[in-house]
Chains A and B, each alone.
Chain A
Amino acid sequence: EVQLVESGGGLVQPGGSLRLSCAASGFGFSSYEMNWVRQAPGKGLEWVSYISSGGGTIYYADSVKGRFTISRDNAENSLHLQMNSLRAEDTAVYYCARRAKGERPFDLWGQGTLVIVSS
């Protein structure tokens, strides 16, 4: 089955760190660009970060630049998001999303993992 499964969410104190993972299966992960998108409770979607298929090109939203690090392990079919210096405003469901080939944007999403930053 073609799917993305996120893990690693949880409760963390402000200033703390957390590492999210996204396990890909059922498709050639190494040939796809990947993204992280988040959604604060009751709010809209916010694009967080992008990584190219080979990992050589990376982008971040201004809101997380310098605090979050995206990475991937193509041998393990996994995507990661290292989140440091977490703030209350980082509280959200974090989704990994596959950039489709060709003209289509994000065609495959995981179910999301909830990160709560609170003391």
Chain B
Amino acid sequence: DIQMTQSPSTLSASVGDRVTITCRASQSMSSWLAWYQQKPGKAPKLLIYKTSSLESGVPSRFSGSGSGTEFTLTISSLQPDDFATYYCQQYNSYSRNFGQGTKVDIK
């Protein structure tokens, strides 16, 4: 069973900042890694799939990269709408485990 660990748990940033969130897998995995954004009281929204593919309609300031056990989500220039919690998810194995989340809040 692949476990996912995100860092940091909380990130304080300002509008315009470049933000990077890391997700580490407990074992080497293929590129079946996704990123979601969740706002309070709402369901998660898919941002990135297969490590680096941008979901339709998601702004290009979001990007994903990585391989093996380390994956990253980058927001190139943080916008007011981006303050939210972000989760990685592996769908390499049957247990589609999520990371514990990274909350991006206003500095």
Contact = CB atoms under 8 A, between A and B. Distances in A.
Interface in A13-40: 35, 37
- Per DSSP, chain A at the interface is strand
25 contacts: A37-B98, A44-B98, A44-B99, A45-B44, A47-B95, A47-B97, A47-B98, A50-B94, A59-B95, A95-B43, A104-B34, A104-B50, A105-B49, A105-B89, A105-B91, A106-B36, A106-B44, A106-B89, A106-B96, A107-B46, A107-B55, A109-B44, A109-B45, A110-B43, A112-B43
Contacts of A61: 95
B101 interface: yes
B87 interface: yes
Contacts of B94: 50, 59
Interface string A77-117: 00000000000000000010000000111110111100000
Interface in B23-64: 32, 34, 36, 38, 43-46, 49-50, 53, 55
Q: Chain B interface secondary structure, helix, strand, loop or mixed?
A: loop
Contact of B98 (A46, A103, A107, A111): A46
Interface residues of B, number: 24
Contacts, number: 58
Place the interface of chain A in its size category.
Answer: 20 to 34
A94 to B, nearest CB: 11
A44 B97 contact: no
Contacts of A103: 49-50, 53
A35 B89 CA distance: 14
A45 B44 CA distance: 9
